[in-house]
Amino acid sequence: MSQTSQNLSLSKLAALVGGQFPFVGNTGQTPHAQGELLITGVAGASEAGPTDVTFLGNGKYLPALKHSNAGVALVPLDFNETVPPLLIRVENPSLEFAKLVAHFAPKPIEWKPSIHPTAVLGEGVILGENVSIQPYAVLEAGVCVGTGTVIGAHSYLGHGAKLGAHCFLHPRVVVGERCLVGDRVILHSGVVLGSDGFGFENVKGRHIKIAQVGIVQVDDDVEIGANSTVDRARFGRTWIQEGTKIDNLVQIAHNVIVGRHSLLVAQAGISGSTKLGERVTLAGQVGVVGHIEIGSDAVVGAQSGVSKSLEPGALYMGTPAVPAAEYREQVAYLRRLHKLVDRVAKLEQVLKSQPPSGRQIKPAAPRPSSERGE
């Protein structure tokens, strides 16, 4: 393939990712010949071809790399396996591979500053410089939008909502009235900020709705995935703090606080008034009850159910969630339970087949009637 502005020689690729050069490969090529290899794309180890670069970010993918047709692979500094691709050793293969993905990816779509004729702007809307508002977006009265923000088609911003600078709202995002969004926030399609918290009071067998009059506050550099929802507070605020990343289909209830730089993975759900510390990770389908705290740097494994507060800095698993070592012990016992049942059944059969052991006790002779007072 002829070289284009995107294609990279191996030497230039190594410079881009800060990798070791010359390389230790398995082809017998000289370092000079290796440096002339032209890289035209990126791919996973199983799909890569001779002019593609791949990476090893997790040891479980080593078998795929050993059978890969990739021309080059980014590997950790201490990697010493024999694999077909030429090797570039880097400190963080996943991070450096992301640079290459960005290099070879199609040029990002640019949104020209403009207001589409079909967009609806209410009274007193304030727009910063270079804002782009796409077709059929609705901005209610009092909305404020920061510099360089893009509002996707069919999105809705409620009365008095405020968005910071350089945010990106994909199509069909809802930001409810009075909610606050910081700078550089990304909201994917279907995100709803400021839906009512799930609050009802049972009165004589009927569920009476409790007013939800608080807001949602989303701080700088947060990203929220498609069809995730963050309920407004009953009073005060539901608060997603700086740098947190939220996957698709996540539910965050009223008055929850999610600490800085946390990760909430798909289908996780957090009940009302729970507080997460900083850098907390909730893996897929984790459920958390309300009114508890999860300490900073805690990690909760997939499909776990959190029923009480968790200490910081530990890995938890299971339902109810317990420290990982305790959970693994429980699983080990459960997997041996059928063997225990079989052993008990055999013991019962043995006991039933044997006569009672020990000395037989004869019943006492009845006393004479005179001794009984008759």
Residues annotated as part of the active site: 254
Handedness of CA 143, 114, 182, 106 (dihedral sign): positive
Tokens 């400021």 sit on residue = 194
H helix count then E strand count, the chain: 6, 39
Q: How far apart are the first and last CA of the chain?
A: 121
Looking at the chain, list the stretches that DSSP marks H as alpha helix, in order from N- to C-terminal side. 10-17, 31-35, 62-66, 93-104, 324-335, 337-353
Q: Measure the CA–CA gap between 14 and 16, rounded to whole angstroms.
A: 5
Contact criterion met (CB below 8 Å) for 31 and 11: no
- b/e map 223-232, b = 16+ CB within 10 Å: bbbbbbbbbb
CA angle 56, 58, 59 (to 5 degrees): 95
Sequence-distant (≥ 6) Cβ neighbours of residue 108 within 8 angstroms: none
- Phi then psi for residue 261, to 5 deg, are 60, 35
Contact criterion met (CB below 8 Å) for 232 and 250: no
Q: Measure the CA–CA gap between 330 and 105, rounded to whole angstroms.
A: 46
Edge-to-edge strands, sheet with 293-294: 126-127, 144-145, 162-163, 180-181, 215-218, 237-240, 257-258, 275-276, 293-294
Q: Give the three-state DSSP class for 69.
A: coil
